[in-house]
Amino acid sequence: MEFLNWKLEEGVAIVSINRPPANALAQKLIRELDELLTEIEQNNDVRVVLLHGEGRFFSAGADIKEFTSVSTQAEAVELSENGQTVFNRIESFPKPVIAAIHGAALGGGLELAMSCHIRYVAEDAKLGLPELNLGIIPGFGGTQRLPRYVGTAKAAEMIFTGEPISGKEAVEWGLANKAVPQEELLPQALELAKKIAKKSPVSLKAAIHALQYAKASFEDGIKAEAEQFGIVFQSEDAKEGIQAFIEKRQPAFSGK
């Protein structure tokens, strides 16, 4: 792949965005990401995905130069839907996806980060949706995901002004899980990923599925949770986890 690299470390697929200088999300990069998700999903050795950017930024946003070739409303809708499809896939991906954000996550870069299940940020990182500065709006899910994390009032402020917030503010606002000094970002995010990678892949997949219903009605979510609980409870991993607890030892999950 031209813009993405990855390596496996103790069950964690460490995925790097490498499109200097700003890791702009060109359409080709988004297509590569979709292809890589398929590869990782089929790889049973991968338990968790850790996504970060090489160089100065996580991602400074979409490739604005590509926008100049979009001339019709239908083409603009297609551009938006292409990004939405891949980012929706990340949000429902059956393996946990963690974003480690440094430098800046702006526009499409923040929309990508918000589609991940967990976000660790550098304290001085900048996170924002500046699309209105270009006379457009967020198109890769930003208007829908941001309010779920920070509330509609704060989301409106961020989107209307286009002004970014810091990594520390992102944690305070509920947009990120943890803010750390930049030099500690990858080590701490990787430590978290490895901790999660020790859990049962079956139960992780079920938990991700159930969490998708948190944005639906409570009744639908509770029903989905019970269904997934029943599925997981019959797995070999569940039997192993329960038995290991009784025997006061670490479980050895097989992914079955």
Mean pLDDT of the chain: 93
Tens-digit pLDDT profile for residues 9-18: 999 999 999 9
Q: Is residue 173 over pLDDT 90?
A: yes
How far is the C-alpha of 87 from the C-alpha of 91, rounded, in Å? 6
Q: Is residue 224 over pLDDT 80?
A: no
Q: Is 224 in contact with 209 (CB distance < 8 Å)?
A: yes
Phi, psi of 47 (to 5 degrees): -105, -30
Give the other-Cβ count within 10 Å of 244's Cβ: 14
Q: Is residue 32 over pLDDT 80?
A: yes
Phi, psi of 62 (to 5 degrees): -65, 160
Q: Is the model more confident about 229 or about 188?
A: 188
Q: Return the pLDDT at 26.
A: 94
Q: Is 99 in contact with 57 (CB distance < 8 Å)?
A: no
Q: Is residue 107 over pLDDT 90?
A: yes
Catalytic residues, which ones? 111, 131
CATH number of 4-197: 3.90.226.10
Q: Report CA Rg, the chain.
A: 19
Q: Return the pLDDT at 226.
A: 76
Q: Is residue 52 over pLDDT 70?
A: yes
Instruction: Band the pLDDT of 222: cuts 50, 70, 90.
Output: low
How far is the C-alpha of 34 from the C-alpha of 221, rounded, in Å? 27
